[in-house]
Amino acid sequence: MYGKYFYASVTLAFLIHFSLSAQESDGYFNNSSAASVYNYNEAFNTSFYLKNGTEYRSASGKPGIAYWQNQADYQINVKLDDVKNEISGTEVITYTNNSPDELEFLWLQLDQNLFRQDSRGARIIPMAGSRSGTKGQDFDAGFNIKSVSVADGENAVVKYAIEDTRMQVFLPGTLKPKGGKVQIKINYSFIVPMYGSDRTGIFETKNGKIFAVAQWYPRMCVYDDIVGWNTAPYTGLSEFYLEYGTFDVNITAPANHIVVCSGELLNPSEVYTASQQKLWDEAKRSDRTVVIRSSKDVADPKSRPSGRKELTWHFRIENSRDIAWASSPAFIVDAARINLPGGRSSLAVSAYPVESNHKSGWQRSTEFTKASVEHYSAKWMPYPYPAAVNVAADLNGMEYPGIVFCTWKERGAALWDVTDHEFGHTWFPMIVGSNERLHSWMDEGLNTFINYLSTDTFNKGEFKPGQKDMHKWARILADQSLEPVTAGPDNIKEQNSTILVYVKPALGLWLLRDQILGEERFDRAFKAYIDRWAFKHPEPYDFFRTIENVAGEDLSWFWRSWFLNNWKMDQAISGVSYYKNDPSKGALITIANLQKMPMPAIVEVKTKSGSTSRIKLPVEIWKRDISWTFLYPSTEEISTVTLDPDHVLPDCNTGNNSWKVRQ
């Protein structure tokens, strides 16, 4: 009778007539006796943005005309002692102050200090344990800072102070604004923990240790236009906020090790055998996985260059906020070309032990890596790095620019999920460099959202999940014991983290895309956010403003409901009757908003003859009402009315969503 989606439209004259005549109809059904707690002035309050745009951050969500950020370039030379599990060496940081402020000191992050027994993070681990610690190891390490100096003609030793996971370096003179540079040289060492907050560690395999090495060098804190120096301590759950720059790294390891790292390997001829170099070059041209070092090679000393006790691996990555690496004698290595927009390419590389060498497991890692990176590159922004390396480790999954650590034992859909998720982080927060230390939903949530889309398309839907039932999710997401999504990760109970940091923001964006803005408008706005803030530092309101400005929609009610508060949605059918008591003249359907979250309404109507149609009402029906009555243009009796029949909205009470004619 009517189209699947019938959008009700009523003229102003009829609305006036209806408002007067509705009183003449006899309501014969009331499905909602519960009182509403909805406050439309609270939900649609116009004072969502409490400050205007500035020269640094535009009201439109763009970086402002005077936006700035500082830069940190690193030259690092380290050595791995695989017996002592020790990394030692030097770094030279060239720090550029692009801010308008003079700086008399610098702040650096010493993340390995989390693993000191007297660290703040160690002292706040609950008795039940935490992912953030060292899993009960008898371990007391952290950075051993041997010297700090400023290169100013000659190296001048400078004073520094260490407070937990931060180090303050006092400069001999002020660092000038708008381009002033200083070089800091640090000699240091540390012992790698066996399990380091599920982000770094050592995995014992039958062919040797796998070192997954992260947070392994003193790193510059960010100085920005929001708070100045960002010195929030690292306590394990919260992640990172880092400056961009170039990393030039030399890693010396035992000669029987394979080392993989963020960025481009600059000296393959010095660290691979002649046959492996040929296979490496072949992989750069191949869309199929090329095995460079096989499971048989792992036990063969000839698979490593001879005559040396140690080898130095040289890597470089540009426009990166971090760098990580892995080293092991146990690595099988394979690779394939990643095809990028504009005819460019990158290289997918996998490094894993024989324990992971299964057809449904890590033998598919390079295939998964390639597909994931190609999808995001085509959909959002091209992958910016020369390689994408997937390392099998004894970690649940952790991301760094150009390299990720994934669980060694995963297979099939589970391996796809962790691989796709960790490489999705290339876009959030490696390209779009948000502050993970404070706003973890801006990387984990946005990444989890884009993972939904990539999984739907991978290999013609090989791992595509079933449809999301938002009614079931609503009962979880609106649990009143949960903190708001925008709470900082250190202010969220660890058991709530998965829901609030990953799932709820991702499902919120899915709602925004599928039910509120539509795919075309949402994708255009979402891509604009990536384009605007690529290799920059957005805050949450930069994201909100960009989506609204590009999509052309006031979404303050949505951000307020879903992100800033933990509001529930409960729409109910509160009345069904016929206009003038005559089914041929139309049905008067009244719906109510019983909880604090407004949402568009989807109403499905079935008539006695079996015809079905749907009406989608915009969220504006709730801008000044807690209930809404509309005329459905029926010409016969109605048998059922259902709210949100496909369960695509987060309605927490399905029991009041349907009406049936009395028999």
Radius of gyration for the alpha carbons in the chain, expressed in angstroms and rounded: 29
Question: If we measure between CA atoms, which residue out of 175, 228, 184 comes closest to residue 68?
Answer: 228
Cβ–Cβ contacts within 10 Å for residue 546, how many?
Answer: 23
Choice between 295 and 155, residue whose per-residue pLDDT is larger: 295
Q: Rounded to an integer, what distance in angstroms lies between the CA atom of residue 434 and that of residue 417?
A: 23
How high is the mean pLDDT of the chain? 92
Is the pLDDT score of 1 beyond 50?
no
**Domain 568-660 in this protein, CATH class:** mainly beta
Q: Rounded to an integer, what distance in angstroms lies between the CA atom of residue 261 and that of residue 616?
A: 51
Residues 6+ apart with CB under 8 A from 54: 64, 225
Digit-coded pLDDT (tens) for 16-73? 233 333 333 333 344 444 699 999 999 999 999 999 999 999 999 999 999 999 999 9
Burial class (CB in 10 A: 0-12, 13-18, 19+), 339: middle
The reply to whether 568-660 shares the fold of 244-432 is no
Q: Rounded to an integer, what distance in angstroms lies between the CA atom of residue 194 and that of residue 174?
A: 41
- Architecture field, domain 71-241: Sandwich (2.60)
Digit-coded pLDDT (tens) for 301-311? 999 998 899 99
How many residues appear in the chain? Answer: 663
Which pLDDT value is given to residue 18? 34
Do 512 and 546 contact (CB within 8 A), yes or no? no
Question: If we measure between CA atoms, which residue out of 530, 526, 532 comes closest to residue 551?
Answer: 526
Which pLDDT value is given to residue 378? 98
> Residue 529 — very low, low, confident or very high, per pLDDT cuts 50/70/90?
very high
Mean pLDDT is lowest, of 204-218, 401-415, 482-496, 616-630, for: 482-496
Measured CA distances, 312 to 191, 257, 260, 318, 350 (Å): 20, 10, 12, 20, 20
> Residue 466 — very low, low, confident or very high, per pLDDT cuts 50/70/90?
confident
Digit-coded pLDDT (tens) for 477-499? 988 899 999 999 999 998 999 99
Q: Which long-range CB contacts under 8 A does 659-662 form with residues at least 24 apart?
A: 659/29, 659/31, 659/573, 659/576, 661/608, 661/637, 662/28, 662/29
Please tell me the pTM assigned to this model: 0.93
Measured CA distances, 196 to 200, 237, 391, 398, 400 (Å): 5, 12, 16, 11, 15
Q: Rounded to an integer, what distance in angstroms lies between the CA atom of residue 610 and that of residue 587?
A: 16
Task: Look at the domain 244-432 and name its fold.
Answer: Zincin-like (3.30.2010)
Domain-wise residue ranges, the chain: 44-64+462-563, 71-241, 244-432, 568-660
Is the pLDDT score of 4 beyond 70?
no
Digit-coded pLDDT (tens) for 385-401? 999 999 999 999 999 99
The stretch 395-414 carries a mean pLDDT of: 97
Digit-coded pLDDT (tens) for 362-379? 999 999 999 999 999 999
Question: If we measure between CA atoms, which residue out of 333, 203, 326 comes closest to residue 262?
Answer: 326
Mean pLDDT is lowest, of 37-51, 94-108, 113-127, 398-412, for: 113-127
> Residue 128 — very low, low, confident or very high, per pLDDT cuts 50/70/90?
low
